[in-house]
């Protein structure tokens, strides 16, 4: 992707970055984030990143965010994908590691980010499962329904 000479990134996404759709920018009458000319390159890159999430838990959330804009990506989406590549450049040895040790416990962590998607106001839930010290499962999912009670509180 031509990033071999670029500076690496320490995180896969900028903190508090909110990527939005073209429709959202149209409603706000914002024109400072143009559409990409080459949508195919963005789609190919995100497709490769989706495949990489099989072994790289640390990029799952960011790839899920980037994949929401496959049909109509903007320059900010491309820049975020490039940051992801710079992060991967810095952390080539990370991935799933199953440690050989006595298994004493099963640990599960979960979290939800209520109405975090600016475009749909849907919530995102995620979880990770560890067997001993080894990560064995994880998932991040956007809810299908909007929490109407939460929306009423936000509008109030």
Q: Widest CA span of the chain, in angstroms?
A: 58
**pLDDT higher than threshold 60 for residue 99:** yes
The answer on 29 and 84 residing in a single domain is: yes
| Lowest model confidence (mean pLDDT) among 9-18, 60-69, 143-152 | 143-152
In sequence order, what are the beta bridge partners of 12?
none
98 lies in some domain:
no
The answer on 84 and 35 residing in a single domain is: yes
| Mean pLDDT value of segment 64-70 | 91
The answer on 85 and 28 residing in a single domain is: yes
Tokens standing for 40?
A: 């195919």
| Lowest model confidence (mean pLDDT) among 7-11, 35-39, 74-78, 113-117 | 113-117
Check: CB of residue 53 under 8 Å from CB of residue 59.
yes
Check: CB of residue 47 under 8 Å from CB of residue 12.
no
Looking at 90, 119, 147, the residue that finishes a domain is: 90
Confidence of residue 48 (pLDDT cuts 50, 70, 90): very high
Angle at 55 (CA atoms; ends 76, 3), nearest 5 degrees: 40
6 lies in some domain:
no
44 lies in some domain:
yes
The answer on 71 and 26 residing in a single domain is: yes
Give the C-alpha separation, 94 to 129, whole Å. Answer: 18
Q: Tell me how far CA of residue 8 lies from CA of 21, 64, 91, in angstroms.
A: 27, 21, 9
- Number of independent structural domains in the chain: 2
**pLDDT higher than threshold 70 for residue 108:** yes
Q: Tell me how far CA of residue 23 lies from CA of 13, 55, 117, 118, in angstroms.
A: 23, 34, 14, 11
Confidence of residue 128 (pLDDT cuts 50, 70, 90): confident
**pLDDT higher than threshold 80 for residue 49:** yes
Half-sphere exposure (Cβ direction) of 103: Cα atoms closer than 13 Å: 10
Give the C-alpha separation, 56 to 87, whole Å. Answer: 12
Looking at 90, 119, 134, the residue that finishes a domain is: 90
| Mean pLDDT value of segment 124-149 | 77
Check: CB of residue 77 under 8 Å from CB of residue 68.
no
70 lies in some domain:
yes
**pLDDT higher than threshold 60 for residue 148:** no
Confidence of residue 58 (pLDDT cuts 50, 70, 90): confident
Looking at 90, 120, 144, the residue that finishes a domain is: 90
Give the structural domain span for 129. 106-155
Tokens standing for 83?
A: 């940051």
The answer on 115 and 76 residing in a single domain is: no
């Amino acid at each position: 992707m031509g990033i071999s000479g670029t500076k690496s990134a320490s995180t896969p996404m900028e903190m508090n970055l909110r990527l939005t759709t073209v429709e959202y920018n149209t409603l706000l009458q914002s024109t400072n984030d143009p559409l990409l000319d080459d949508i195919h390159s963005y789609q190919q890159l995100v497709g490769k990143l989706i495949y990489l999430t099989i072994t790289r838990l640390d990029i799952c959330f960011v790839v899920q965010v980037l994949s929401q804009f496959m049909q109509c990506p903007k320059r900010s989406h491309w820049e975020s994908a490039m940051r992801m590549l710079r992060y991967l450049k810095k952390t080539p040895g990370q991935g799933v590691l199953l440690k050989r040790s006595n298994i004493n416990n099963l640990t599960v962590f979960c979290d939800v980010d209520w109405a975090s998607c600016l475009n749909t106001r849907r919530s995102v839930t995620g979880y990770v499962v560890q067997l001993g010290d080894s990560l064995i499962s994880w998932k991040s999912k956007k809810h299908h329904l909007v929490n109407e009670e939460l929306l009423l509180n936000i509008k109030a």
